[in-house]
Amino acid sequence: MTRITAAVDEIEKDFDRYLDSVIAGGEVIVLKDGKEVGRIVPAVSDDAPITESLTGILKENAELDEARSQALKEKLMPDIP
């Protein structure tokens, strides 16, 4: 992924260039007064593989709250059934 860092005024002057970079899968880091204030990223991000890797972790038909409670219980009280 291409990352471009640019100040707000630069982005305003040449928005199409930065937008084209994002459409191509890149990321624009937005700076104001030299500090990062935001990012422009593609609508479909690289987070999909992470989500896919988490699929199947929950037991079949498990509720999220139930799974959280069980995980916390196992972490805090590993020797208690």
Model confidence at 15, pLDDT cuts 50, 70, 90, reads: very high
Model confidence at 21, pLDDT cuts 50, 70, 90, reads: very high
Task: Give the Å distances, CA to CA, from 28 to 25, 48, 52, 53, 72.
Answer: 10, 20, 25, 27, 38
Q: Which domain holds residue 37?
A: 1-81
Query: How many whole angstroms separate alpha carbon 14 and alpha carbon 4?
Result: 13
Give 23-73 pLDDT, tens digit per residue: 998 999 999 999 999 999 988 655 555 555 555 565 555 576 777 777 777
pTM recorded for the entire structure = 0.53
Overall domain count for the chain: 1
Query: What CATH number corresponds to the domain at position 30?
Result: 3.40.1620.10
Model confidence at 6, pLDDT cuts 50, 70, 90, reads: very high
